[in-house]
Amino acid sequence: MTVDLNSRYGLSAVHSEVVDACKIIEPCNALDMGCSSGRNALYLAQLGFDVTAIDINPSAIAMLERICSEEKLNSIQTQVSDINNASLDTNYGFISCTVTLMFIDPSRFDDIIADMQKSTFVGGYNLIVCAMNTEEHPCPVPFPFTLKAGQLREVYDGWELIKYNEDLGTMHNGAQLQFATLLARKLS
Ligand SMILES: C[S@@+](CC[C@H](N)C(=O)[O-])C[C@H]1O[C@@H](n2cnc3c(N)ncnc32)[C@H](O)[C@@H]1O
């Protein structure tokens, strides 16, 4: 059972793909890349994950730290960090990166993915949700980075794809765009 800390602190509900992933991933050490104020990190911590939560925005990290302090949660380590550096220095059983890659420097995509993969234990998992820009559904938002059809699946060649889709989603403002969703397990 998890307490709904997200409502208590005015955060959005935990991402549905994180909820789904946690149905199969046992608690382990997890990295939340681009955690914002921690809606997913708080959920993971309550399930027993030992969470490292990183974001480039110091205010978001400060908010998450305040929540952890008020709730006496000591299983979330926070860090202000730029994922463009692609310089993870620990291995994780689960790396989650939901709706964050759209904000990276496009030239850093390959290095960021390679760093995530290198920093995942064999048998561990990566979860990525990222906006796409395709011929059928041009991305209506000027994100710095968007995925092309098949691009995310391609870079996870050799991993077990537990979930992969490029479904159409609707944003809060009603705009429709495709998202690539990947949950993959490292095989070797
Ligand atoms: C749309 S929010 C998603 C937050 C969270 N992953 C979720 O699912 O709610 C994107 C987050 O990515 C962070 N971000 C953007 N660029 C980043 C970067 N280069 N390094 C780390 N975090 C970054 C933003 O500060 C923001 O908190």
Per-residue pLDDT of the chain (188 residues; tens, 9 = 90+): 677 889 899 999 999 999 999 999 999 999 999 999 999 999 999 999 999 999 999 999 999 999 999 999 999 999 999 999 999 999 999 999 999 999 999 999 999 999 999 999 999 999 999 999 999 999 999 999 999 999 999 999 999 999 999 999 887 788 889 999 999 999 99
Q: What are phi and psi of 43, to 5 degrees?
A: -65, -45
Confirm or reject: Cβ of 55 under 6 Å from ligand 1.
yes
Distance 104 CA to ligand 1 centre (A): 9
Distance of alpha carbon 90 from alpha carbon 113, whole angstroms: 15
Distance of alpha carbon 179 from alpha carbon 128, whole angstroms: 10
Which amino acid is located at 133 in the chain? N
Predicted confidence at residue 19, as pLDDT, reads 98
Confirm or reject: Cβ of 100 under 6 Å from ligand 1.
yes
Long-range contacts, stretch 143-150, CB < 8 angstroms, 24+ apart: 143/102, 143/103, 144/102, 144/103, 144/104, 144/105, 144/106, 145/101, 145/102, 145/103, 145/104, 145/105, 145/106, 145/109, 146/102, 147/101, 147/180
CA 169 to mean position of chain CA atoms: 17
Give the closest residue to 185 by CA, choosing from 115, 100, 123, 118: 123
Cβ atoms of 29 and 49 within 8 Å: the answer is yes
Confirm or reject: Cβ of 38 under 6 Å from ligand 1.
no
CATH architecture of 29-185: 3-Layer(aba) Sandwich (3.40)
Distance of alpha carbon 151 from alpha carbon 19, whole angstroms: 24
Distance 100 CA to ligand 1 centre (A): 5
Distance 36 CA to ligand 1 centre (A): 5
Predicted confidence at residue 1, as pLDDT, reads 62
Q: Which residue has the tokens 């305040």?
A: 66
Q: Which residues contact 55 (CB under 8 A, 6 or more apart)?
A: 34, 35, 36, 61, 80, 81
